[in-house]
Chains A and B, each alone.
Chain A
């Protein structure tokens, strides 16, 4: 019997696993997809919110402010790119200005520091490309950006380096209460544990139900995004939110930590928990709103568009609770990413409060080498690494300048990747402006070689996502 089973290897499952790996616990993470970070974690706004959004006194407000304060050190220790770029919520009218004042007051009540409502003149000083119709903004200097899937890979990887186990392609189908714990089963195998932690994102209501808890539901909310070439990444330096109105929260325009420009998301509740399609109407809406918030966006430089599904819980707040060793982390919509480190701690406290005496893992090492350390090296440092292993000089992805050495290293680093998109998230190979046009045939080759499998067995993202169907003359 394991001590802990975590269902779902997203940014929340990862944060929980990493926190618990500081203690002498036998941890197993179950993930239904072929890689970690495959749900909302890989497609969201990549923002660490300052914390003025959530209602005072809510779990969201408490964990957001706490998580936001923890995040800088947390990211640094895990080697994850993080940048405190500040955010602006921009308004277009006097009515908006009133809303911004309300947000400021709420933020201050939540404990957010440095909030100020500023005029167009002041905005122009810090963001010259702001949209023409913008008249005022709430400036939050503590807002930050981070790469969410990188954070997830780092937390899961660090938990694994400290002894946690990750089972990919493990889709939980049944949870059975057994003596002293639970039996969690897929169609093929079972894992038993004293504690089960439900971090299953949009499926967390279904997972809770398997354990007999039908106290909440989760619906997927579709958010469509566009990502622009790095050429456009410096158009704005702050994250530019839109003042919430009767029309909803609106989209954001933000630089990413990797230097691209991100636009989105739309917000549309849907039924299908797998429907990550983009729509012509959604993308048009993103484009229209982005143009109002920021002037001079070059839409000719879009490199990809995508959809993320947020987990909207039926209670309006995060649903984090414990009963008989079964812990829910559900309804973790925005500000879930910002709250992740705090959620990890909160879950650990729930376990302690349930009567478990946790013993420190003395050999715990919370540090992790940044996934992009090689790219950050000086030319002389790179040359020393290349002298040891020439593969670091062999460029595979010409847009992002990723070398074979970096790809091979990623293949053998926790959590280990098995497909093309997993390599992309780890090394940025295929993430650039040609979107894998040149590098993917080579990456497939390297993956097949390192994993000892056939070329045709390599997929884009697991499942039936085959890249090639067979050899020529044979199909």
Chain B
């Protein structure tokens, strides 16, 4: 068989992914004076999943105004273009080694390798597919994840169906309930297995209530009907152990079932590189710099943990971008090793560990809906921080600002910082 050599190049900073995280990370690095940057994007344009999110509600925190997804993406794309930050589209990264050699391919270069000074992982996330839900019944056409339906409708201009049931009340599902309604489809119900929605409160108001779409909490789809194309679903209420109650089963005729049952960070490359993942976030375990356990490899955005708002993705990505530049310039001083532990009511924190004595914003999510609770950060018995919260919900990310003092104290007092709800 014929062969052709694999080209190798060098680059100080390789950013894997040109969505909101990757672009913000590259922009931050550029603004610190780094020029030898390369963004690798698998799609045909920068912007990532925002390109198909044509609804508004993006950018209130970051830009102080309400933008659509493509508008938000374009703000960053324009910065990338104006700064002249190099990027390659239609380029798939297929591997990352422990010593930061990135393997990628595109139609112009074929397969090539980049020896990177630092790597920022910003591959985003994907939706949980039907198979993973293990619903009984047939396997007809007409079952899509909400994001796939969004792609068909918003990017390709095709309608997946007329009569819709949505399983899961994640934000994309809520957004698609409204979108399908506006396109003339009838959304008959949104079923949510949990007793609360995993989506943002504002999306429940604006996408369901405003259109009289019923949100059926503690409900799930128990059977799929239809041999060729979907003809209907059986839904049912679930008990406190999330087991369906047969007496409540109800048949709903429909030709489309959309799934919005959670997002999974896309960490195949991360795992291949040998980086261990947090079992709760499904993203890498990182420190305040968003540096993974492999030196010089950083992660940010939805590949690290699923965010509720893109504004926080950008914020986190710029932390990673700045840190990558400090790493390249040997300016990092990692002097402590503090583990951040979540108590279970708090499901996870990012970062999971702290290695520098510097002000750090910690993001977290809770496991259930809680009212009138205190968020407490403590080392052993010593409370370093507490704040009352009227309401906490799994769908909304929360933050705590840690001061350098707190981190120094945590390091002195044993190195474990506990995040809990009391």
Contacts and interface: CB of A to CB of B under 8 A. Distances in A.
Interface in A384-411: 384-387, 390-391, 393-395, 398-399, 401
B126 A437 contact: yes
B82 interface: no
Contacts, number: 156
B151 interface: yes
Contact of B137 (A277, A390, A466, A469): A277
Nearest to B147: A437
Interface stretch (A44-52, A68-76, A197-205, A300-308): A300-308
What is the size category of the interface that chain A forms with chain B? 35 or more
Nearest to B231: A464
Contact of A434 (B109, B111, B127): B127
Given A440-B148, A472-B183, A460 B156 contact: no
Interface stretch (A124-132, A243-251, A326-334, A374-382): A374-382
Chain A contact residues, majority secondary structure = mixed
Nearest to B5: A380
A267 B132 CA distance: 23
Interface in B248-277: 255, 266, 268
Given A303-B129, A380-B5, A434-B129, A393 B110 contact: yes
B162 A401 contact: no
B1 A274 contact: no
Contacts of B156: 441, 445, 455
Interface residues of B, number: 58
A387 B2 CA distance: 11
A463 B140 CA distance: 11
Given A390-B107, A393-B107, A380 B131 contact: no
B105 A395 contact: yes
B106 A393 contact: yes
User: Which residue, of B106, B129, B130, has the highest number of chain A Cβ atoms within 10 A?
Assistant: B129
Contacts of B42: 395, 398
Nearest to A224: B136
Contacts of B224: 277
Contacts of B268: 399
Contacts of A302: 131-132, 134
Contacts of A467: 141, 160
B222 interface: yes
B160 A469 contact: yes
Contacts of B255: 469
Contact of B1 (A300, A379, A384): A384
Q: Which 9 residue pairs spanning A and B have beta carbons closest together?
A: A304-B131, A390-B107, A460-B141, A435-B129, A380-B3, A383-B4, A384-B2, A464-B228, A465-B141
12 contacts: A276-B138, A383-B110, A386-B111, A393-B106, A393-B107, A399-B268, A434-B126, A437-B147, A437-B148, A445-B156, A466-B141, A470-B159
Given A279-B136, A303-B129, 10 more contacts: A276-B227, A277-B138, A379-B103, A398-B266, A435-B131, A438-B126, A455-B158, A465-B228, A466-B141, A468-B152
Interface of A: 226-227, 274, 276-280, 282-283, 300, 302-306, 377-387, 390-391, 393-395, 398-399, 401, 433-438, 440-441, 445, 455-456, 459-461, 463-473, 475
Interface of B: 1-6, 42, 90, 92, 94, 103, 105-111, 126-127, 129-132, 134, 136-142, 144-145, 147-148, 151-153, 155-162, 183-184, 222-224, 227-229, 255, 266, 268
